[in-house]
Structure formats: structure tokens, C-alpha cells
Chain A
Amino acid sequence: MRMKGAQVLVELLKKEGVECIFGYPGGAVLDIYDALFDTPEIRHILVRHEQGAAHAADGYARTTGKVGVCIATSGPGATNLVTGLATAYMDSIPIVALTGQVFTHLIGKDSFQEADTTGITMPITKHNFLVTNAEDLPHVIREAFYIASSGRPGPVLVDLPRDVQQKMIELVYPEKIKIPGYRPTYKGHAKQIKLAAEAIGEAKRPLLYVGGGVIASGASEVLFELATKADIPVVHTLMGKGAFPESHPLSLGMLGMHGTYWANKAVMRCDLLIAVGARFDDRVTGKLDTFAPHARIIHIDIDPAEIGKNVKPHIPIVGDARMVLAEIVKRLEPMTHPEWHEEIAQWKREYTPKYRESKKLLPHQVIERIYEKTKHLDTIVVTDVGQHQMWAAQKYPREKPRTWASSGGLGTMGYGLPASIGAQVGNPDKTVILISGDGSIFMKIQELVTAVNYCLPIKIFVMNNEFLGMVRQWQGCLYRGRYSCTRLVNPDIARVAQAFGAVGISVTTKDELDRAIDEALKTQDRPALVDCHIEEEENVLPFVPPGKSLDEMILE
């Protein structure tokens, strides 16, 4: 059947199982929007800025496991996607971004709303395509979804000139995909798996270090089996939150710059570190030379380039985390490490976080209250970037994968609100909680319109300390308290929310906070924002200053 390129595109999106798209129309995507007009099977969410579309697709992908799709027009529409694509790329999130482009005969002529979209996004996408021949469209769309979701996932951008969208072409669905240079390795090497199993059998103080790859590959169940069968404590990265239940006694919480005291101690003391779907990021390792100094290292990752990039492992295994762990578990006998656990218990006894007394709300108390009042619900927690992100990571435990969405690698302020929109759209029956800051929330505040328009009952908590808190903390610790440009003078954020049509509540005491949480949870027809006025100069602790070893934590 022959139809316009844009219609073929929409038919192929349906074939790929796309149920919703986040986007913003414009001149160069008129044909796509015209085709979507007749496609009730695909729900389109109109955001208010293209960056929001990319983050929303990202939040949707992280919390559903499906590919997120976003659309933007050529030129400024496409460039606005950039931050969202880079965010998804750093965290290996599958997104397909569709951008309009000027007519092929106008490309390269500095035409109106022309930008070199594929050139600009080359280093921040897993792959991108500029379709210049309409007949290539079916193959390209099929490949885009395949590349985005297979191997190490990531964003893929398809740039579609207007004439490609308009040309009449045959609707075909390519069954076979042929990409000669792309063959991800899923199955781990048998010899390496045997070595890993032996190393685990011999270890006295083994430690699992798990990252986002566990969640991407759906390896949580088999990870649980491994940890419990071989009695191995687990530390997770920010991206690995939810990969292993944090309430389990084997969970030591997050490691790294703002990790728990005992997680970091365990890294420095373990004799075997099993890294699964994690990439030894500088925020995790601290000073690389002294990271896990007594440990043999097993590194399991689907991306060969991650192995040996920062740390040279003793036993590298390229493969899918789920498949590799399953093979390792099969080769293990049940075992226990009582002495190792006693050492860890000792660290837990010797340090309990101390908080100062304050008449004002303290950030950890706020998060704890939110947790207490929502833990019985089926929740997804989304964060922005900054101090509140770390407080949320420390104080809002997660038990299941895909219940946590946070910009880890790129650290994108403004990610939270649009990502929580994507999460709520993808999970209409779950309670989506956004924990943001007074800095981050204003980076994408316009998306509150979107949340109101689509009646999304997101619970937004702004940790408002009237500071760009994380930067202030660094200025305090590392720049002798010279608070250069970090004091924020905010409007009344609750009233801002009300003006957008959301519920807006301002709180300064614990009682008010409790009532506000109840009110937010009751609200089902629109977002509710709780502006929590917290102690202004509270630091995130523990804190491993940049370039220091993980055992050089500032604790108070």
C-alpha cells in the first residue's frame, strides 16, 4: 500500500508498539502531526519545550522498560532536544527521537530553521540517521528501535526532511534487520564465568557493586538469587537504586561520594568486588588509585569499552548481566560469610548519622516523612539534580527496579518534572513522587502546564533552601564559604503552582508537612506541589571530597 512517508512512519511506530509520544509541533513536522491526527492508537503528549519531550520520553523509558519516543521540529526544536538526549545517553536509556528537517534540496543552505541535527547529536546519541531517500524510511525506523533497545541501550535520533515525510512510498515492515557492524554480545564467555564463580567461592569478603545495567537487563531477580545464595552484601550506584531491595539485610545502600559510611568502608575492605552493569564513574570511585585496594575485581558489562576504561578488572566478562549472573549462580554452592558481616555490623554500630537540632524542617526529615506516608503505595520516585537528589537517594529506599528515575551521569537539573510526566503517563496506576529543589524546579517549570493539561496527579516536593544547595555546599567546604551567586531569591513557589492550575502548598513545620503530604496524596486530578522550606545550610553527608579516597569521608 502506498502512502505518504509520514503515514508510513506512524504505521511503523504502531508496529513497534509505541503507545505514546512526547512532542512539540513545528513547520518541519507538519506532515507527521497530520498523520498522528488520524491515529488514536498513539497518544501524543504536548509538552511546552522540546527538552521536556526528551526527558519525558526518558522518564517513560526508565519506568516502563519500553522505548520512549519524542518528536521535535527542525532547527531550534531539534537543538532543544540536545540536553535530553545527552542525559539519556549518559544513563543508557532507550529513546527514539524523531526530528523534522528542511527539504533535502534546502539542506546546507542555512535555510529557515535549519540546523545540522545529526552533526550536533552525533556524540550524544548511540546512533543517528538522516533520511535523504524516502524509500529507506522503513528500514531506518526499524533499525532505530532495534539499536535503541538492544545491547547497551541508548538514544537514537532520526532526522526526517519534509520531502521524505511527503513522498508517496510503499508501506513495508522489514522483518529482517541487517547491520553488519552491530552485534551485541549477550552470552558471557564460559571460561570467564567459571573463573568468576571460582573467585566468588574463594572470597572471604566479597561485595557486589551494582549499577544501572542490572535494571536495563532485568537482572534483579537473578542478582537477588546470587547475593542470597552466596551471602554477598550489595552496594549500588545512584543508577542501580532498586536493582536490589534496600530493606534486605544484605543491602549496604549507595556507595560513592555521598554513599553510606558502611558501603564505602566495605568497598575499601572487600577482597572481591563484583561489578555488575556499573562503570566505575569518578563519583563512585573517588580517588581511583586507592579504590578497592584489597580486591580482585570481576567486571560484568555488555559494553566491552567499559571494561578496562577506568579500572582494569582481573576477571572481565562481556555480556548481558542477567544471562551472565544466571550462569554464575548455577556454578555456586550456598555459602556464608559471618565474619565479613560482623565487620560490616561493626561499621554500622560505630557511625550513625547525626543531625543538628533545628526549628526549621531538616531535609532528611522531610524525605523520611514522605517515605513513611507513601511506603505502602506502589510508588515511583523521580528526582532532579542536587542536594535533594542525594537526600532522596539516601532516605527513600527502593525495593524494585524501575521505581527510581534520576539523572545520574549527566546530572541534568530540570530533568525531574518532565521525567515524572513520562513516568506518570507510562504508569497511570502508580503514585509518582517528584523530589526536586528550588534550583532544579525552575529549570523546567513550564512543564507543570503539561502535567495540569493531562491531569497527571504527580506529587511534587520542592526542597526549598533558597540556595543552589549542592554548589553552596562545595563553596562552603572547598571555597572557604564564599557563596558566589548561589543564593536564590524565589517567588512563592506554592502560588506559582496554583497559577499553573496545580495544587500548591507551602510548609515550614512538621505538622504542616504531614497535612500537605496527605493533601497531595488525596489529589488525583492534577499535580500537587509542596514547597518545603528547609534549613538553608544543611550539607549532604557523608561527603567524599573530589579526588579523595572513599575512606576519607567527611561525616559531620
Chain B
Amino acid sequence: MEHIIAVLVENKPRVLARVASLFARRGYNIESLAVGPTQDPSISRITLVVTGNEHVLEQITKQLYKLIEVIKVGDFANTPVVDRELALIKVRAPSNLRGEIAQTAEIFRARIVDVDEESLIVEVTGTPDKIDALEQLLRKYGIIEMTRTGRIALARGSQSL
């Protein structure tokens, strides 16, 4: 099963390496990973999407806590969350198809952020499913390249980690 885990860590060098190394050596699978600063400059937030049963998830959480620089681990298994990914998709776009592509993008509330003679870049945020769906639709025009961020998530409501 897929789980989203948010980890608050001290903003110090090599923290990401420690987390990644822990997952590698204990044989846990990471589906996606995103890291960035928080409102407190001394703390970073790592969002991990992992697969495993409850036992594996419990071990991941406990092992993460053993890292000295890990301050807090949050598992969103039973919490409603807002989770988002961002993707940039560079699509082949001859002038006769531009309108069609723009319309498709519109439906997904995606934006066109770069244009040249033969291509454009579509920026889309959303759940992985939504991004997958847009990617599928854009395939027929020819995707030149694309990049996706790891997922980030916050629990709904006023509570924090």
C-alpha cells in the first residue's frame, strides 16, 4: 500500500543522504521524494511516498526517528490531506494544433508557460492521477521531454505536524 510520510528535519548538510541511505540499507521502497524549506529556516520538510504494509510503515517511522536530525515524522495514513505534484511537459505544437493543446490544458487548469515555433511547455499541478491523465492526452502530440516533482502534502484543517 502507498503511504505519504512527512519528515521534519534539521536543515543541515547530508540530512537527505542520511534519509536516503536509511531507506536503501533497510530495503524500503521510495516512490517519490520531495525536500524543501519550511517557515522555520532551521527546519526542512521531506515528503516521502513509500509502499509497504503496516509493519513496514511502523519500522520506517521508528527508524527515521533514530536519525538524530529527524525532529518529527508524520504518517498521513488516516488523515485527509491535500497532496500535490507539479509537472512540466514540453509538447510538440505545430501552429495548427496549438489551439487544441491549449484547450486540453485548460480543462486540467494547466498553464502554458513557454512557447516557440514548434513546441510549448505545459505546467500542471495536482494529484498524480491528474498529471498522468494529462500526460496521456498530450502523448499523441509528441512529448519532447517532461519532469515531475515528488509529491508534497499537508493535512487538511488547522493542525500541523
Contact = CB atoms under 8 A, between A and B. Distances in A.
B38 to A, nearest CB: 13
A118 B14 CA distance: 9
B21 A122 contact: yes
Interface string A245-276: 00000000000000000000000000000000
B113 to A, nearest CB: 35
Contacts of A308: 55, 58-59
Interface string A137-164: 0000000000100000000000000000
A112 interface: no
Contacts of B68: 126-127, 147, 179, 181-182
A303 B66 CA distance: 8
A56 to B, nearest CB: 26
29 contacts: A119-B14, A119-B17, A122-B17, A122-B18, A122-B21, A123-B21, A123-B25, A126-B68, A127-B68, A130-B13, A132-B13, A147-B68, A179-B68, A180-B71, A181-B10, A181-B65, A181-B67, A181-B69, A181-B70, A181-B71, A182-B68, A303-B66, A304-B65, A305-B59, A305-B62, A305-B63, A305-B66, A307-B62, A308-B59
B121 interface: no
A122 B20 CA distance: 11
Contacts of A375: none
B68 to A, nearest CB: 4
Of listed A118, A132, A305, residue having the most chain B CB within 10 A? A305
B110 to A, nearest CB: 38
The 8 closest A-B pairs by CB, nearest first: A305-B62, A181-B71, A127-B68, A181-B70, A182-B68, A180-B71, A304-B62, A123-B25
Q: Which of A127, A181, A304 has the most CB of B within 10 A?
A: A181
Contacts of B18: 122
Nearest to A182: B68
B9 interface: yes
Interface in B1-60: 9-10, 13-14, 17-18, 21-22, 25, 55, 58-59
Contacts of A180: 10, 71
A314 interface: no
A305 B71 CA distance: 16
Output the residue of B9, B22, B67 with the most chain A CB within 10 A.
B67
B67 to A, nearest CB: 7
A179 B70 CA distance: 10
Contacts of A132: 13
A118 B59 CA distance: 24
Contacts of A304: 62, 65
A309 interface: yes
Interface string B91-126: 000000000000000000000000000000000000
Interface of B: 9-10, 13-14, 17-18, 21-22, 25, 55, 58-59, 62-63, 65-72
Given A123-B22, A126-B68, A305-B63, 9 more contacts: A130-B13, A147-B68, A181-B9, A181-B67, A181-B69, A181-B72, A303-B66, A304-B62, A308-B55
Contacts of B25: 123
Interface residues of A, number: 19
A305 B63 CA distance: 6
A86 to B, nearest CB: 12
A338 B103 CA distance: 84
Interface string A178-215: 01111000000000000000000000000000000000
A308 B55 CA distance: 8
A357 to B, nearest CB: 49
A127 B69 CA distance: 9
Nearest to B13: A130
Nearest to B25: A123
Contacts of B21: 122-123
Given A122-B17, A127-B68, A309 B10 contact: no
A118 B22 CA distance: 14
A119 B70 CA distance: 18
Nearest to B15: A181
Nearest to A309: B59
Contacts of A305: 59, 62-63, 65-66
A278 to B, nearest CB: 17
B80 to A, nearest CB: 27
B26 to A, nearest CB: 9
A123 B26 CA distance: 10
A307 B21 CA distance: 22
Interface string A20-44: 0000000000000000000000000
A118, A119, A122, A303, most chain B CB atoms within 10 A: A122
B49 to A, nearest CB: 21
Nearest to A127: B68
A307 B72 CA distance: 19
A327 B24 CA distance: 39
A181 B70 CA distance: 5
A181 B64 CA distance: 10
Nearest to B43: A180
Contacts of B72: 181
Contacts of B63: 305
A396 B62 CA distance: 37
Contacts of A147: 68
A217 B16 CA distance: 32
A532 to B, nearest CB: 40
Contacts of A303: 66
Contacts of B22: 123
A308 B56 CA distance: 10
Interface string A106-128: 00000000000011001100110
Residue among A119, A147, A182, A303 having the largest count of chain B Cβ atoms under 10 Å = A182
A180 B21 CA distance: 21
B54 to A, nearest CB: 10
Nearest to A123: B25
A130 B14 CA distance: 10
A162 B22 CA distance: 29
A57 B69 CA distance: 26
Contacts of A130: 13-14
